[in-house]
Structure 1
C-alpha cells in the first residue's frame, strides 16, 4: 500500500501524440495507459503534490533521427502536433513541463539529463518520485536510473507504462532492471486513497 506524503512527486514521461498509436513513433497500446495516468494525475493534483511532465522537444534534424544517422524516425519536433499531448489529456495547471532532448547533437532519454528537474525536486523537498509514462524501455528506464543515482526513493507506476519493445522483451527487461536498482512497482489499485 503506497500512501502519499508531502515529500512525494509525480513524474510522467512523454505523453505526446508521436508516441501514441498512429504517431511517427507510435507505441502499440500506449493509449491504454492514458486513463490510468490521468487517474494518477488527479490523485496527486487533489492532494496538492508536485507534478512534472516531460516532453521530447527535438529541433528539426535532431541527431536521434534516421536522416541524421540516428535510430528513430523524426518525431516530437518542437511545436508540431506530434510533440503535443493528445487532445483531452488533462494537464493540471500547476504541473511543470520539462522539455528534454532539445540540443540538436545530444540524445536525452532521462528527464534529468540537461534539465532543471533535480533542482526543482530538491527545492520542493521531494524525496519519493512516482514515475510512469512512455516508454518503459527508454525514457522511463533512464529517468528511474538517474532518480535512483540521485538518491530518490522511486515508485514505478506498473500500470502506467508501455514499452517500445524494439527487441521483444525490452520492456520486461527494463522493468527488471528498474526493480533491481530499487524502484518499487505500484499500481493505482494498490495505492491508498
Structure 2
C-alpha cells in the first residue's frame, strides 16, 4: 500500500512577486498548490512543506562576498551561485505565501540554516553533509510516494526530487506547479528532463487529477 504525501517546496514570499529573489510567475504556483492540498486532504494524504530559512549572514548571499547577485563562485569547496539576500529567518520574505492554505500543512521543514553551506534540496544540504528532518518524518509516517511541486524548478525542486529518488521514494512532479529561476533560458526545461531521466514521473495538475485515484 502506497502512503503518499504532497511536498511543497519553498512557496515563500521572497520567491514570488515583489520578493528578493522573485521567480517569474512564482505566484501562479499557489493555486496549483491549493488544488493539490484539497485533493490530498480528501484522500487522507499528508501535506508537508519546505522553507528556506537562512541566517542573515548566509554564505550563499552575494552581499557577504561583495559580488553581484548571480555571480558564480565557490563556498566551502562547493560550486556556488551567489544569490540576493533572501528568506532570512523571521522576516516577511521567509514566510510562506499568504494565499497558501497553510492550516492544512502537517509539517514544515527548514533548510539552509547553516551559514557555511547552501541547501537547495529539502532533504540535504548541497554537500550531503547534513540531513534535514524531512526523511525521518516521512519514514516515521510510512510514506513512500511523493507529489512534488514548488519553487524553483531548476534549483530547490530539482535537487529535492533527485534526493528523494536516491532515498528510494516514488516521485511525481507537477510541472505547472513549478516555476524556475532560469539564469540560462532553458534551465527549467533541462531540470524537468533531468528529473525524468532520474526516474520521476511528470504530470500537469489536470493529468494528475484525471489519472490518479
User: Deviation of residue 187 (structure 1)?
Assistant: 2.1
Report whether the alignment pairs 1:37 with 2:33: yes
What corresponds to 2:83 in structure 1?
A: 72
What corresponds to 1:109 in structure 2?
A: 120
- The 5-angstrom pairing of residues 12-161 of structure 1 reads 12-69=8-65, 71-113=82-124, 114-161=131-178
After TM superposition, the score normalised by the length of structure 1 is 0.93
User: Deviation of residue 46 (structure 1)?
Assistant: 2.2
Unaligned 5+ residue runs, structure 2? Answer: 66-80, 125-130
Please give the per-residue CA displacement for 1:13-63, whole angstroms capped at 9, x wherever unaligned.
001100001100001111111101110011112222111101000001101
Q: Is the 8 A contact 2:6 2:148 kept in 1?
A: yes
User: Deviation of residue 87 (structure 1)?
Assistant: 1.9
User: Deviation of residue 78 (structure 1)?
Assistant: 0.5
Q: Is the 8 A contact 1:41 1:92 kept in 2?
A: no
Sort the Cα spacing of 1:94 and 1:131 in 2 relative to 1 into closer, same or farther, 3 A: closer
Large movers: runs of 4+ above 3 Å: none
| RMSD between aligned residues | 1.4
Distance 1:93 1:165 in 2: 30
Sort the Cα spacing of 1:19 and 1:94 in 2 relative to 1 into closer, same or farther, 3 A: closer
User: Deviation of residue 66 (structure 1)?
Assistant: 0.3
Q: Is the 8 A contact 2:48 2:105 kept in 1?
A: no
Distance 1:6 1:177 in 2: 24
What corresponds to 1:185 in structure 2?
A: 202
SS of residue in 1 equivalent to 2:123? coil
Unaligned 5+ residue runs, structure 1? Answer: none
Count, aligned residues: 189
